Amino acid sequence: MAKPAVLDASALLALLYREPGSGILAPVLPDALLSTATLAEVHARLLLKGVDAGFAWSRLLALACEVCPLTAEQARRVGELLPQSEFSGLSMGTLAALALAEERRATVYTADTACKRLPLNVEIVVLG
């Protein structure tokens, strides 16, 4: 069985906007995991760009990724990572994706190289 894949907010946005490097997500997308925090962040970012709320939400759900509720343990881990990522600009949604990946022993897909600077025990694939 293949290692699970977790998409962070930057990877999900890259996929939706068909940005360079997002093509590597196609093979992992059918079994990809999304944190609810990541899903909320991407939905909000789409709305801030002027995308209709109903369309944005249906587009996200159409990806058919497994949506994983943020657990108390993941929230604890996000809290620990936040001070370490203070100057990197990593969002709470991205940190939640990293915590989910640690918990599930999954590979994280991201467009943000700052993820590689955190003390994590997960494989990180940077798009591009």
* Domain range summary for the chain, segments of one domain joined by +: 5-126
**pLDDT value at position 20?**
87
**pLDDT value at position 1?**
60
Under CATH, which architecture does the 5-126 domain have? Answer: 3-Layer(aba) Sandwich (3.40)
pTM: 0.92
pLDDT in tens, the chain (128 residues): 678 999 999 999 999 999 988 999 989 998 899 999 999 999 999 999 999 999 999 999 999 899 999 999 999 999 999 888 777 788 999 999 999 999 999 999 999 999 988 889 899 999 98
User: Measuring CA to CA, how many Å separate 77 from each of 12, 22, 101, 113, 120?
Assistant: 21, 27, 11, 19, 11
**pLDDT value at position 102?**
96
